Structure 1
């Protein structure tokens, strides 16, 4: 892993984690396109740490208030939301644990990724069209958390996109675009933190080198900017832009796959 590759992968992770385009798909496809070596576990840790830093820095006030209210005022709006977010994180963590081997092998097929990019892109467009887009963060219920949490479990498959499928589920429950995105981003904290902590146990101090540090910094900075962009964009914009991007990327994957045969 050289410095340029580290910066590019950090950029891709920062964008893909918070835009509904699937960071895991891009992290599989980019080395596949350019025939780069597998960055390995060490760099995966770096990328997860970067996006975790990004979402904590952006939402630190919200997160602090949620934790305080969850512990001391559980019946308040933020107290209830804190527990809804915890409940929503359970299915994704469980599926990630049970399907860890498949995620590292069969789910990394370029053609499978092309299919999930396309299907989820169309699903995102449909959810944006079908959703009422009327409910705010104050109106989120436990059932919303369960529905969005169950959808997050499918994000173990590259191309689905954790943010994309949770935003889609949020839209289908009637959330506004910005509300669905905010709830999705807050949900990412426990799931990203859990993934990073599981991998940190195998990390050695010798592995923390220049590419590792650059990966963390790039992923954090770009992730922070991606969150800011997404929340502003969704005040007036739709998800159609991301649907077209996913479909075009899927077509490119299929073309390259059959060209190389």
Structure 2
């Protein structure tokens, strides 16, 4: 497979896996290792660096929400704009503290089958949530919105997102499931999770460039600048399409299908990663 084809494959993998609970960094890590023969540290760093495409997609898709955040920063936003700004700031700060610590701890330690285990556990938890929701479906009706969330809720989301720095743990799976468990309606849970990706992913890229720039540079040399650009463009396009599909899926308001589907995806991905010994 030539480098351009590898770039396209990596872009598709990143563009799909970022938005579903299968850990995009783990999937990119796996594919880049198989296709480019990268070591763990190089592949892990590259997986985080690849989020440029998904950040671009999120900015494009949520440009109206981001404009409102800018207005809130300037003191011109309405009440909900200010809450969204507070949500982004608080959850991002908590994510940074936890995520950077985890990144620096595991970058040279985690190996092998361990990567698939957290993903499978997340899948089982989500499926259990689905079962509990089904059992209590008459009394459990997630209807909270951004207006109903407190600083404590923002901190909880930040903790969940920070833990996603672990290989095998999905950022979207963690944040979306936590928001659902906090009683947020599915559509808002997906939307808030996707919006929070932007500052979190920018921070992840920054940390990667600071602490693992040599690994990233080595990977770029292997892939070529042209292939990397194509990979990012493909990831952006696929991401925009997937965000739209998932938000429409969440609009169905069928919380059982949403949670159980996320759980099955995460469980299958974790099992596959474990079976192939990655």
| TM-score bracket for the superposition, by shorter chain length | 0.7 to 0.9
TM-score w.r.t. length of structure 1: 0.86
Q: How much does 1:195 deviate?
A: 2.2
Partner of 1:2: 3
> In 2, are the aligned partners of 1:45 and 1:200 still within 8 Å (CA)?
no
Q: How much does 1:91 deviate?
A: 2.0
> In 2, are the aligned partners of 1:110 and 1:253 still within 8 Å (CA)?
no
The gaps in structure 1 that reach 5 residues or longer are: none
> In 2, are the aligned partners of 1:124 and 1:165 still within 8 Å (CA)?
no
TM-score w.r.t. length of structure 2: 0.81
The gaps in structure 2 that reach 5 residues or longer are: 134-139
Pick aligned residue for 2:225 from 173, 192, 209: 209
Higher deviation after alignment, 219-228 or 248-257: 248-257
Pair 1:222 & 2:238 matched? yes
CA distance in 2, matches of 1:243, 1:124: 5
Q: Secondary structure at the match of 1:100?
A: helix
CA distance in 2, matches of 1:186, 1:127: 23
CA distance in 2, matches of 1:56, 1:72: 21
1:53-92 matches, cutoff 5 A: 53-73=56-76, 76-92=79-95
Q: How much does 1:74 deviate?
A: 6.6
- In the alignment of these two chains, the number of paired residues is 256
CA distance in 1, matches of 2:106, 2:10: 19
CA distance in 1, matches of 2:46, 2:52: 10
CA distance in 2, matches of 1:156, 1:127: 23
- Following TM superposition, the consecutive aligned residue runs of length 4 or more in structure 1 with deviations greater than 6 angstroms are none
Partner of 1:122: 124
Q: 1:240 to 1:32 in 2, by over 3 A?
A: farther
> In 1, are the aligned partners of 2:55 and 2:201 still within 8 Å (CA)?
yes
> In 1, are the aligned partners of 2:53 and 2:236 still within 8 Å (CA)?
yes
> In 1, are the aligned partners of 2:177 and 2:259 still within 8 Å (CA)?
no
Q: How much does 1:103 deviate?
A: 3.5
Q: 1:240 to 1:257 in 2, by over 3 A?
A: same
Q: How much does 1:28 deviate?
A: 2.4
CA distance in 2, matches of 1:248, 1:220: 25
Q: 1:104 to 1:244 in 2, by over 3 A?
A: same
> In 2, are the aligned partners of 1:178 and 1:235 still within 8 Å (CA)?
yes
